[in-house]
Amino acid sequence: MRSVDAPVANGITVAVVGATGAAGQTTLKILEERKFPVRELRAFASERSVGKSVTFKGDEIPIRRVEAGAFKGVDIAFCSAGSAQAKEYAPLIRKDGAVIVDKSNAFRMDPKVPLVVPEINPGAARRHDGILSCPNCTTIVTVMPLKPLHDAGRLTRVVATSFQAVSGAGVNGIAELREQTLAWAKGEAVAPRHFAHQIAFNLLPQIDAFQPDGYTGEEKKLVDELRKILELPELRVAPTTVRVPVFTCHSIAVNAETERKVTVAEARQVFERFPGLKLWDEPAQQRYPMPIAVEGQDDCFVGRIREDLSHDRALNFWVVGDQLRKGAATNAVQIAELLLPS
């Protein structure tokens, strides 16, 4: 990749695929906030968005169509499209010489593609062959406290129940919660369109399609991705995912067992020291992580740390992260930062 070997004093050429979606819009915002060295930005989206524009650093950037030759001269391409589109677009992007940072599920479990959370496994990014994958948003928020806990006591089993915001389903999820809430307030009928059931004032214990064993694809992602990132192929993981009527931030209730007992005091210390993780754990003051407080921040927040009453080498805790930022766009931009020359 040109940007690895060449100086970036004048910036590099960056493409954002899926620039009009929630994750793509947040990517543009994060690139600007983190002062990523963008010399030229190219924005891509679906055919129906061609002719529209997105804003970056005060400039209107026209939306282009994804086609052969459109990525010539691009150094890094952030792909915020779905898995099917990512698989379709990747050969075109790679042929033009760009390195892809992909946010979909398309390549995460490919053994040749590194699955990267920069605070946890930055070295994996150096082993890329043109594609790097960003984990599922729930996985990122969950693994942030699990890594320091593993380093302290070696994980043996994880039970994780996620409470996932509607923005995880994109702009349609956001619109549906807003519309249903307004309809309910007016006394009008609430009709689901995007989700299988009403989401306003409700919980849906299904994020995507059920598999024959009763688990959803979202739950299986958590199992597979935690094992790959932590390099623990035999780690026992018991997942449950729930869609909740919250606009932004995923919250996860975690029970983690370790080989060596890790006390609450020790866990608090290792969490507090870990980059990208903040400790909010003052129950007497009713201070603990909540989506409304964490939204818009790049760090993940952990609290409600306590010993498991049923197991002498297990802890319970609660972690919250903005899944549009650290769970997607921020993590992707951090991956791209690892590719820049030092």
In the chain, how many domains are there?
A: 2
Residue 8 has pLDDT above 70, yes or no: no
The per-residue pLDDT for 143 is 98
Read off the pLDDT of residues 106-152 as tens digits, 9 standing for 90 and up: 999 999 999 999 999 999 999 999 999 999 999 999 999 999 999 99
Does 339 map to a domain?
no
My answer on whether 163 and 295 are in the same domain is yes
Does 288 map to a domain?
yes
My answer on whether 99 and 161 are in the same domain is no
Mean pLDDT of 329-340: 96
Q: How does residue 9 score in pLDDT terms, banded at 50, 70 and 90?
A: low
DSSP 315-328: EEEEEEE-TTIIII
CATH number at residue 272: 3.30.360.10
CATH number at residue 96: 3.40.50.720
My answer on whether 173 and 309 are in the same domain is yes
My answer on whether 78 and 199 are in the same domain is no
Q: pLDDT: is 264 or 342 the higher one?
A: 264
Q: How does residue 301 score in pLDDT terms, banded at 50, 70 and 90?
A: very high
Widest CA span in the chain: 61
Instruction: Please give the model's pTM, rounded to 2 decimal places.
Output: 0.94
Phi, then psi, of 28 in degrees rounded to 5: -60, -40
My answer on whether 87 and 213 are in the same domain is no
Q: How does residue 288 score in pLDDT terms, banded at 50, 70 and 90?
A: very high
Q: By CB neighbour count within 10 A (0-12 exposed, 13-18 middle, 19+ buried), where does 47 fall?
A: exposed
Pairing state between β 155-164 and 236-243: parallel
My answer on whether 277 and 172 are in the same domain is yes
My answer on whether 85 and 158 are in the same domain is no
**Structural domain boundaries, residue 304:** 139-323
Give me the active site residues, please.
137, 250
Secondary structure E strands in the chain: 12-17, 38-44, 53-56, 59-64, 76-79, 99-102, 131-133, 155-164, 236-243, 250-258, 277-279, 300-307, 314-321
Counting residues of the chain whose pLDDT is more than 90, the rounded percentage is 92
Does 256 map to a domain?
yes
Residue 2 has pLDDT above 50, yes or no: no
My answer on whether 183 and 64 are in the same domain is no
Residue 7 has pLDDT above 90, yes or no: no
The per-residue pLDDT for 4 is 42
